[in-house]
């Protein structure tokens, strides 16, 4: 029977679907340096990864029995996709399954930045009992998102999902994308029906200059460069917010710290980091940065959708025998 190694895990729904179809699904996590040997010794034909495991040229060359690499999520920068396909492997991901989950986390961060609730939650346990009034004064200068301009860099599935929530919150939304994307955003308002908005597509300079908050949804750049660096941060509105739930490195972390320290940028929220899984201590300890540990797609609903979509992709390409 064909073996599948879900090295970064798979939802119970996805596993059950594959096993019901006759596949053998293994979910233990094999260390990267031992992965090739495990695949070969156990005749693994399908490797499923998330963001922790990589499938580079060396692994692909070392595992001639590997036939399918699946990525649970959007980006595939941890897989040498073109090389794998040249070698005859099928490579697939699940770009639609986690969009809503990432978008909801972005909005949670935006609200948290606007009201400084992330910072209040740090200080209330230690100081709330003895110093309540001073904390009340400290956090009494929040702002509202309604009426503010959100600039979305990268207007694919996740960018559009963020736009849905932001529009529903009364924000003005503008977007920028290097591709010729459809800028129409439709969503259902309960009790009313479908609403469709044509979001204005502008250039990067306009996004940087006019946004009260920026959310980034682009892959890691091939040359490793930042999309938002020192120059872009300096051009942003004083008091603006920035959220990165895309990939570590698309915001230059050292430049971000400088902009936060100067007061030019009011706050930032990061779900992704340089040097994961060991982010910079300067980033993790900064009082103006809201933090989550790369969990944008990690909702129960998204994991179920990802697992089911991966199962469907495998079943469409492979037979269990």
Q: What is the CA radius of gyration of the chain?
A: 22
Q: Considering 247, 253, 308, 309, which one is annotated as catalytic?
A: 247
For CA atoms 301, 304, 308, 309, the dihedral sign is: positive
What is the DSSP annotation of 27-68?
-PPPPHHHHHHHHHHTTEEEEEE-SSS-B-HHHHHH-TT--E
CB atoms within 10 A of CB 298: 17
Cα distance between residue 106 and residue 216, in whole Å? 10
Q: Considering 50, 294, 308, 309, which one is annotated as catalytic?
A: 294
290 and 118 in contact (C-beta within 8 Å)?
A: yes
Helices 117-127/99-115 angle, 10° precision? 60
Q: Considering 26, 210, 258, 276, which one is annotated as catalytic?
A: 276
Backbone angles phi, psi at 37, to 5 degrees: -65, -40
276 is catalytic: yes
Greatest alpha-carbon span in the chain: 68
Residues 6+ apart with CB under 8 A from 142: 114, 115, 116
For CA atoms 32, 37, 41, 45, the dihedral sign is: positive
Residues 6+ apart with CB under 8 A from 181: 155, 156, 175, 201
247 is catalytic: yes
25 and 19 in contact (C-beta within 8 Å)?
A: yes
Instruction: Give the residue numbers annotated as catalytic, written as ranges.
Output: 247, 276, 294
């Amino acid at each position: 029977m064909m073996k599948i190694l879900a090295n970064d895990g798979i939802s119970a729904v996805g596993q059950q679907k594959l096993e019901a179809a006759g596949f053998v699904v293994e979910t233990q996590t094999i260390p990267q340096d031992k992965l090739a040997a495990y695949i070969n010794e156990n005749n693994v034909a399908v490797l499923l990864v998330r963001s922790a495991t990589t499938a580079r040229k060396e692994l692909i060359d070392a595992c001639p029995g590997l036939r399918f690499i699946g990525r649970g999520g959007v980006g595939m920068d941890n897989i040498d996709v073109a090389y794998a396909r040249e070698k005859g492997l099928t490579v697939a991901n699940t770009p639609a399954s986690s969009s809503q989950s990432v978008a909801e986390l972005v909005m949670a961060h935006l609200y948290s930045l606007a009201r400084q609730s992330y910072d209040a939650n740090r200080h209330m346990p230690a100081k709330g009992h003895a110093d309540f009034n001073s904390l009340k004064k400290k956090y009494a200068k929040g702002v509202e998102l309604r009426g503010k301009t959100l600039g979305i860099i990268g207007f694919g599935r996740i960018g559009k999902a963020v736009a849905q929530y932001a529009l529903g919150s009364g924000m003005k939304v503008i977007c920028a994308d290097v591709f010729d994307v459809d800028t129409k955003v439709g969503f259902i308002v309960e009790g009313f029906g479908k609403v469709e908005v044509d979001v204005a597509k502008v250039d990067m300079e306009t996004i940087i200059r006019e946004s009260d908050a920026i959310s980034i949804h682009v892959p890691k750049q091939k040359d490793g460069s930042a999309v938002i660096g020192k120059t872009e941060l300096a051009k942003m509105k004083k008091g603006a917010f920035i959220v990165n739930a895309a990939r570590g490195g698309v915001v230059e972390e050292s430049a971000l710290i400088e902009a936060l320290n100067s007061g030019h940028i009011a706050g930032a929220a990061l779900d992704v980091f340089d040097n994961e899984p060991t982010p910079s201590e300067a980033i993790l300890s900064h009082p103006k940065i809201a933090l989550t540990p790369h969990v944008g797609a990690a909702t129960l609903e998204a994991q179920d959708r990802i697992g089911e979509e991966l199962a469907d992709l495998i079943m469409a390409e492979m037979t269990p025998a």
